[in-house]
Amino acid sequence: MADWLFHNSPVLLAALDAGLVCRRASRGWRDRLGLNHADDELELPLSQLFALEQTPALVAQLREALQRQAALQEIPVCLTAAGAITEGLLTAWPVRSPTGSIALCLAATCNMDLERALAELRGLRSMHELILNAAGEGIYGLDAEGRATFGNAATKRILGWQPEEVVGKQAHAMHHHSHADGSPYPQVECPIYAALQDGEVHHVDDEVFWHADGSAVPVEYTSTPIRDDDGIRGAVVVFRDISRRREVERQREAAYREIKQLKDLLEQERDYLRDEIKSGGDFGHIIGSSAALRRTMGQIEAVAPTPANVLILGESGVGKEMIARAIHELSTRAEKPLVKVNCASIPKELFESEFFGHVKGAFTGAHRDRIGRLQLADGGTVFLDEVGEIPMELQGKLLRALQEREFERVGDDRTVRVDVRVVAATNRDLEAEVKAGCFREDLYYRLGVFPVLVPPLRDRREDIAPLAEHFLARTCAELGRERIRLLQQQVRRLMEHRWPGNIRELRNVIERAVILSSGNRVRLDLALPADSGDTPASAHHEVHGEQTDFVTDAEMRERERANMVMALRHCGWRVWGPDGAAALLGVKPSTLTYRMKNLGIVKPEISE
């Protein structure tokens, strides 16, 4: 009966010999140890019953109980159980067995509530570790002295930390010891440690932590103090690798720069080239069917589809710009801009800026970045009118830009790459200029790959009549006049004139004739130059002698309107500024604007 009670007791029971070796154990204790119930006799050291680190102290207490023959009451112990440890209470008392083999009995009880609480705590800790390790941000803890207490999986992934290498060490010395440029980062200035001092949350958007391999990792981080009733106990640091964000920001900044560059291009086209690039030209479509013009058009059709540079030669006023436009429109670059540069109108000191552009502050008056004409023409065609006017000192840089297809803006060290086709025009003898040392020979050959000669109007007399009719119809439409026809004898007079000013002179004569006309009568006699040699004496007298024709108020208003339109057309429809029509007419811009409104003068959709 006694054996049955011993083996089946709800209390854990064990019997020890004088050497403190366990010889017998109840079923409950055997179950905890995973022992066979059939083995009645045991030989177990105390280290198998109790936690190893507790055994020496427990042995001393039990030997003292044997020596004094006194019981031990409810000693806190840690019981082993299949590799696990359970806290409990132990009672021990000496006994005298008949055989003398048993000297001490043990009775142990487990604190099951505590065991369950510890198990729950372990489960909660495990769950917290899973949550921390699942976070994409690096998270690590500090004690009140700034030593690392833990780090999650992201901390190891981002910084290469091994937990056993950093726990207990100063975190600042491990990963935050230097700035991005390598200069020392004093610990007293560290925002992470500041949270331990002032108890405030510190957030930093852009610094670096140092990887275990010595590389810098751009991060943003927050250091939050941990406190209880006794004060600040430590801090938790949450950080994020912002390498990808930095790359996205760099790409966005590059995109913004590109957008700004495109915006500047559009503004430049709007402000400086709208009238020149998008206009229909000074002479409308190329008009005529003379043999001389057909030869020129044949050259245009042959060279336009090629990438060859073209040099247009001809007298002033023959329509070289129209030829340049025709070459561009028939080329593969027709969808890109045709940018005109009037080399004769650019001040010498501004040539480089006009061609290549400049950056803000490059020289006095450079208040903003400006894109040059070569960059504006990227992908298209640049038309260098009056190319012989380019200063000698700039010709070398222009030649290099055309050869290398790259240049630097004034005041900038960054290279701009462009792809432009060059069409140049001149009324000078460039070969003679080269021989005289006024024009670079290498630039001449670079520009003159394919020369095109535009014939003067005196060699195209059969084209004079259709050109005159074209200018007459256009001028009447612009001035709001009814269509006027030229008489046959007037056409003959036009064909007899020498036209030293070529097509430009013909256009001006027709416009003057319309302005001077009343009703449907064209005053060609007043429009042609008095000293042309083919003007009758009566016409000369009519101009220089006593004027016998008077005009009505309506006719005077019409002449005033026509005069304003002519001035506006000459100035590209600019009213204000030193190059505006108001300055040309000698009136205030506000006065001219008022008169334009009063006379119903409106800028046409396509400027001239």
SS3 letters for 323-365?
HHHHHHHCCCCCCCCEEEEEHHHCCHHHHHHHHHEECCCCCCC
| pLDDT above 70: residue 539 | no
Is the dihedral angle over the CA atoms 222, 237, 213, 180 positive or is it negative? positive
With 0-12 CB in 10 A as exposed, 13-18 as middle and 19+ as buried, what is 372? buried
Determine the pLDDT at residue 256: 86
Angle between helices 464-479 and 502-516 (to 10 degrees): 50
What does the alpha-carbon distance between residue 23 and residue 37 come to, in Å, rounded to a whole number?
Answer: 13
Task: Tell which residue, 184, 183, 204, 181, has the closest CA to residue 192.
Answer: 204
pLDDT of residue 544: 38
CA distance 235 to 238: 10
Element (H, E) at 451: strand 450-453
Residue 278 has pLDDT above 50, yes or no: no
Is residue 81 a contact partner of residue 88, using CB atoms and an 8 Å limit? no
CA distances to 498, 546, 574, 581, 585 from 589, in Å: 38, 35, 10, 8, 10
What does the pLDDT read at residue 268? 64
Band (386; pLDDT cuts 50, 70, 90)? very high
pLDDT, mean of residues 305-323:
93
Q: Using an 8 Å Cβ cutoff, are 111 and 93 in contact? A: no
Angle in degrees, 0-180, between the axes of helices 488-496 and 464-479, rounded to the nearest 10: 120
Coil, helix or strand for 287? coil
Q: What is the pLDDT of residues 82-123, one digit of tens each?
A: 667 778 888 999 988 777 777 899 998 876 655 665 667 677
Q: Contact at 8 Å (CB) between 163 and 141? A: no
The one-letter amino acid code at 103 reads A
Condensed to tens digits (0 to 9), the pLDDT of residues 342-352 reads 998 888 888 88
**pLDDT band with cut points at 50, 70 and 90 for residue 318:** very high
What's the DSSP call for residue 389? G
- DSSP for 548-576, please give it: -----HHHHHHHHHHHHHHHHHHTTT--S
C-alpha dihedral (483, 487, 488, 493), degrees to nearest 10: -110
DSSP 271: I
**CB-CB neighbours of 217 under 10 Å:** 18
Going along the chain from its start, the domains and CATH numbers come out as 2-110 (3.30.450.20), 133-241 (3.30.450.20), 267-454 (3.40.50.300), 458-599 (1.10.8.60)
Highest mean pLDDT among 7-16, 93-102, 217-226, 514-523: 217-226
Look at 109-113, 262-266, 434-438 and tell me which has the smallest mean pLDDT.
Answer: 109-113
Which positions ≥6 away from 62 have C-beta within 8 Å? 16, 20, 46, 72, 92, 104
Looking at the DSSP assignment, which residues form a beta bridge with residue 431? Answer: none
Q: Count how many Cα atoms sit within 13 Å of the Cα of residue 598 in the half-sphere of its side chain.
A: 11
Partners of 408 in the β-ladder = 415
